[in-house]
Amino acid sequence: MAATLDAELDRLYGLALDEFTGARNELATALRREGRKEEAEEVKRLQKPSIAAWTVNQLARAERERVGELLQLADSQREALGRGDTAAMREASDRERAVVRELVAAARRLLREQGRGTDAVVEKVATTLRAAPGDPAAHELLRRGRLGREVEATGFGALAGVEPRPAQKSAPDRRAEQRERAKELRARVRELQRQARELAREAERAESAAAAARAAADKAAEAVARAEQQLLEANK
Total count of residues recorded for the chain: 236
- The CA distance from 197 to 71, in Å, is 19
- The CA distance from 25 to 208, in Å, is 16
- If phi > 0 it is left, if psi is from -120 to 50 it is alpha, else beta; for residue 35 that is left
Task: Judge whether 182 and 81 are in contact, CB under 8 Å.
Answer: yes
The answer, yes or no, to whether residue 172 has pLDDT greater than 60, is no
- The CA distance from 128 to 112, in Å, is 19
The Cα-based distances of 173 to 170, 179, 183 in angstroms read: 9, 10, 15
Residue 228's pLDDT is: 75
Which of the four pLDDT bands, split at 50, 70 and 90, describes residue 122? Answer: very high
- The CA distance from 152 to 107, in Å, is 18
Q: What's the first-to-final CA gap in the chain, in angstroms?
A: 45
Q: Residues 53-108: pLDDT tens digits? A: 999 999 999 999 999 999 999 888 888 888 888 888 889 889 999 999 999 999 99
- The CA distance from 63 to 5, in Å, is 24
Task: Judge whether 34 and 1 are in contact, CB under 8 Å.
Answer: yes
pTM beyond cutoff 0.75 = no
Per-residue DSSP letters for 132-149? GGG-TTTHHHHHHT--SS
- The CA distance from 228 to 234, in Å, is 10
Rg (CA), the chain: 23
